[in-house]
């Protein structure tokens, strides 16, 4: 069985690793350093870490000011309190002036678990996607999370990075893996339907492919870790070659990957698109495995939706 | 307050602690520290002050309670269960997938919860709204809110503070649980929000500083708030985070972690010994 590591752990480790090379990185948190894992950076570089207290709107706006001076600020809290609570400051103080701020949002999605709905952010891809020029990265595993941090540092402009609380399987090889902002990755070839997944749903899409194979269905699997700018080329090619698409995300089916893919497919190569995600409802408290089951974030549901998508082909 | 009353409230407070810890222990998740620091004020409000009807939780004229520091729901749920809003034994379903006791208060699913909370800073504003509505409609209910001291770092708390004073919400009483700790450590080290008394006063509030573990002082503060006209009241309560469980007291790490079996047994034993000593 593959190792399991939470992407937030990888985020914290990457901050420490790249903090050594880039001395102009500074890190902000809002009283959640242990949870977001910026505590690792705090330990390694106490002079470049600033706890802003429980004041997220102030934190992201301070980061905007820091960015105007040529430093590279990272700021972290839970996705709910960055993309949610601090949406408007992110839009107006970071997005509009296109400042070089990196937002490391952890505890995204339903896998927050027991804290429940107030903390389970299912809207962040949606809110962040509507900000012009915002790059949105949603890594599938620890290797990709590390690479996303490096790519964010090397990109000049605002980046929203989405990390999870729960440990997830490691899918990629650190030595060979290459990450490029805006490029999707084809994880498996297939011709009957394409499973386009992001974040924790990528490993489930690979499992769904096996379920479908047992029924004689050949599914392509694509990992979209850059939600914006979306890799339209890989998606439109999949639409043309497989004729049906299923999206899978740990997010509301409104506003996130499913919406982005549907928009691209409608405009570029209309074929059926069926979305797997949280179906326009709020989260709830619980342990992670039953929650994923409850909300249909499972390989079985992806496979079922793949059959639906195929049945909708003209 | 006479000795018998103090004894009674002390026992209820201890029962609230037991209920809160039972929930957190069985969920193996949740926030014990800040639940224990407010068990006294919860006991006082629900068992000696607030006008509520357990058979009619939505009663229009009831006093309202908003747990603005919503993460300490285990304490609130224990108080509500002891009061009779729902069965005591349900406390152990806290945070389970099929439970109506969510990780943070959920007004749509839990009888007795007047406002959904959990995102810090929002609850005090909602409490202002309840108080404003009471004023507009000539209702005589009162609104109580409990905030964290760390929570007072949120700008929205001060937006609400300005609003409440400007609208002369003298039917609103906010208790600030000044336990000195937030998640990343001591509040004075993270981003120091003190002096809270001078800040609230500068914002136009009636301010009372009390020992939040002394029922006489809580009683006097509530009486003072009720007698104060034209201003909301902030009761800044000096408390001990983790109060009543020796190894949890004043420890930031017990903000949001659950006791293991042995620790739980020790905590229960300490609280039961306290009850026996009353
Ligand atoms: C807007 C928001 N930001 C961050 C959090 C995460 N959080 C939960 S509790 C907490 C610390 C609260 O400290 P304090 O208000 O002092 O509470 P207490 O000590 O009474 O537990 C934080 C940062 C949150 N719930 N809401
Ligand atoms: Mg505190």
Radius of gyration of chain A (CA): 19
Sorting pLDDT into bands at 50, 70 and 90, what band is A143? very high
Tell me the chain A residues in contact with residue B151 when contact means C-beta distances shorter than 8 Å. Answer: 54
- Residues 6+ positions from B55 with CB-CB distance below 8 Å: none
Q: CA B100 to CA A34: how far, in whole Å?
A: 29
Q: CA A259 to CA A262: how far, in whole Å?
A: 5
Q: CA A259 to CA A277: how far, in whole Å?
A: 11
Assess if CATH 3.40.50.920 describes domain A185-311.
yes
User: At B176, is the secondary structure helix, strand, or coil?
Assistant: strand
> Rounded to the nearest 10 degrees, what angle do helices B155-166 and B122-136 cross at?
10
Placement of tokens 């706006």 in the chain: A61
The pLDDT score that the predictor gives to residue A314 is 85
> pLDDT tens digit string along B23-76?
999 999 999 999 999 999 999 999 999 999 999 999 999 999 999 999 999 999
> pLDDT tens digit string along B119-178?
999 999 999 999 999 999 999 999 999 999 999 999 999 999 999 999 999 999 999 999
Nearest-Cα distance to chain A for B22, in Å, is 15
What mean pLDDT comes out for the span A62-86? 97
> pLDDT tens digit string along A25-56?
999 999 999 999 999 999 999 999 999 999 99
Q: Which of B102, B182, B193 sits opposite A116 (nearest CB)?
A: B102
Q: Which ipTM value was assigned to this complex?
A: 0.91
Q: How far apart are the first and last CA of chain B?
A: 16
Sequence length of chain B is 278
When the pLDDT of each residue in chain B is averaged and rounded to a whole number, the result is 98
pLDDT above 70 (res A73):
yes
Going by their DSSP bridges, the two strands A219-223 and A185-188 should be labelled as antiparallel
**pTM of the complete model:** 0.95
User: At A37, is the secondary structure helix, strand, or coil?
Assistant: coil
Quick check: A107 and A133 in contact, CB under 8 A?
no
User: At A220, is the secondary structure helix, strand, or coil?
Assistant: strand
- A 10 A CB-CB count for A197 gives 28
pLDDT above 90 (res A59):
yes
> Rounded to the nearest 10 degrees, what angle do helices B215-227 and B3-27 cross at?
100
Q: Tell me, using a 6 A CB cutoff, whether residue B149 lines ligand 1.
A: yes
Domains of chain B as residue ranges with CATH: 3-277 (3.40.50.970)
- Residues 6+ positions from A96 with CB-CB distance below 8 Å: none
Q: Which residues of A are catalytic?
A: 56
Tell me the chain A residues in contact with residue B183 when contact means C-beta distances shorter than 8 Å. Answer: 31-35
When the pLDDT of each residue in chain A is averaged and rounded to a whole number, the result is 97
pLDDT above 80 (res A1):
no
Report how far ligand 1's centroid is from the alpha carbon of A310 (Å): 47
Long-range pairs, A19-27, Cβ under 8 A, ≥24: A19/A44, A19/A45, A19/A48, A20/A44, A22/A72, A22/A153, A24/A70, A24/A71, A24/A72, A25/A71, A25/A72, A25/A73, A25/A74, A25/A153, A26/A50, A26/A66, A26/A71, A26/A72, A26/A73, A26/A74, A27/A73, A27/A74, A27/A75, A27/A76
Q: Which of A32, A119, A284 sits opposite B97 (nearest CB)?
A: A284
Cis peptide before A33 (omega within 30 of 0): no
The reply to whether A33 touches chain B by the CB within 8 Å rule is yes
Q: Which of A33, A53, A291 sits opposite B153 (nearest CB)?
A: A53
Tell me the chain B residues in contact with residue A81 when contact means C-beta distances shorter than 8 Å. Answer: 119
Closest CA in chain B for residue A84: B119
CATH no., domain A4-169: 3.40.50.970
Reading the block at residue B262, the tokens are: 């042995």
The residues in A 152-181 lying below 8 A from B, measured between CB atoms, are: none
Closest CA in chain B for residue A79: B119
> pLDDT tens digit string along B199-232?
999 999 999 999 999 999 999 999 999 999 999 9
Q: Assess whether the region A4-169 and the region A185-311 belong to the same CATH fold.
A: yes
Domain locations along chain A: 4-169, 185-311
Residue spans of beta strands (DSSP E) within chain B: 64-67, 143-148, 172-178, 206-211, 233-238
- Interface touch B104/A117, C-beta < 8 Å: yes
Report how far ligand 1's centroid is from the alpha carbon of A89 (Å): 20
Which atom from ligand 1 is nearest to the alpha carbon of A85? Answer: 1
- A 10 A CB-CB count for B109 gives 13
- Interface touch B97/A286, C-beta < 8 Å: yes
For A6-28, b/e burial (b = at least 16 CB within 10 A) is bbbbbbbbbbbbbbeeeeebbbb
């Amino acid at each position: 069985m593959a190792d399991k590591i939470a992407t937030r752990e990888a985020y914290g480790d990457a901050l420490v690793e790249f903090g050594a090379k880039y001395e102009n990185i500074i890190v902000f948190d809002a009283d959640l350093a242990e949870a977001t894992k910026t505590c690792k950076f705090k330990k390694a570089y106490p002079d470049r870490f600033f706890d802003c207290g429980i004041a997220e709107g102030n934190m992201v706006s301070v980061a905007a000011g820091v960015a105007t001076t040529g430093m590279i600020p990272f700021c972290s809290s839970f996705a709910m309190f960055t993309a949610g609570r601090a949406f408007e400051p992110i839009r107006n103080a970071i997005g509009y002036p296109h400042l070089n701020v990196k937002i490391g949002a952890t505890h995204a999605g339903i896998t927050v678990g027991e804290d429940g709905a107030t903390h389970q952010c299912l809207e962040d891809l949606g809110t962040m996607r509507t900000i012009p020029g915002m790059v949105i990265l949603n890594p599938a595993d620890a290797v990709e999370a590390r690479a996303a941090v490096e790519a964010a540092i090397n990109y000049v402009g605002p980046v929203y990075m989405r990390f999870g609380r729960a440990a997830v399987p490691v899918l990629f090889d650190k030595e060979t893996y290459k990450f490029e902002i805006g490029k999707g990755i084809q994880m498996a070839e297939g011709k009957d339907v394409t499973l386009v997944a992001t974040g924790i749903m990528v490993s489930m899409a690979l499992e769904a492919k096996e379920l479908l194979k047992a029924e004689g269905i050949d599914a392509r699997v694509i990992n979209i870790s850059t939600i914006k700018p979306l890799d339209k080329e890989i998606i439109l090619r999949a639409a043309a070659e497989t004729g049906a698409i299923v999206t899978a995300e740990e997010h509301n089916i409104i506003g996130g990957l499913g919406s982005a893919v549907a928009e691209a497919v409608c405009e570029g190569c209309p074929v059926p698109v069926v979305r797997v995600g949280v179906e326009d409802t709020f989260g709830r408290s619980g342990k992670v495995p039953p929650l994923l089951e409850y909300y249909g974030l499972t390989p079985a549901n992806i496979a079922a939706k793949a059959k639906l998508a195929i049945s909708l082909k003209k | 307050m006479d000795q018998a009353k103090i004894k009674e409230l002390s026992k209820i407070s201890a029962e609230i602690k037991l209920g809160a810890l039972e929930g957190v222990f069985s969920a193996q998740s949740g926030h014990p520290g800040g639940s224990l620091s407010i068990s006294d004020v919860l006991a006082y409000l629900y068992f000696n002050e607030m006008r509520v009807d357990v058979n009619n939780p939505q009663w229009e004229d009831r006093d309202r309670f908003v747990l603005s520091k919503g993460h300490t729901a285990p304490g609130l749920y224990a108080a509500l269960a002891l009061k009779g809003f729902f069965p005591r034994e349900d406390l152990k379903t806290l945070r389970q997938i099929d439970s109506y006791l969510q990780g943070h208060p959920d007004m749509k699913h839990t009888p007795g919860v007047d406002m959904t909370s959990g995102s810090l800073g929002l609850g005090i504003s909602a409490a202002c709204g309840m108080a404003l509505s009471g004023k507009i409609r000539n209702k005589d209910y009162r609104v109580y809110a409990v905030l964290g001291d760390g929570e007072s770092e949120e700008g929205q708390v001060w937006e609400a503070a300005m609003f409440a004073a400007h609208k002369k919400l003298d039917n609103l009483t906010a208790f600030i649980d000044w336990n000195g700790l937030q998640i990343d450590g001591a509040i004075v080290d993270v981003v120091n929000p003190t002096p809270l008394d001078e800040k609230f006063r500068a914002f136009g509030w009636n301010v009372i500083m009390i020992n939040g573990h002394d029922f006489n002082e809580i009683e006097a503060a509530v009486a003072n708030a009720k007698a104060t006209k034209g201003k909301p009241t902030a009761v800044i309560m000096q408390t001990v985070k983790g109060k009543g469980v020796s190894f949890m007291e004043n420890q930031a790490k017990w903000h949001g972690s659950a006791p293991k079996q042995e620790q739980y047994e020790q905590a229960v034993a300490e609280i039961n010994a306290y009850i026996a000593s009353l």
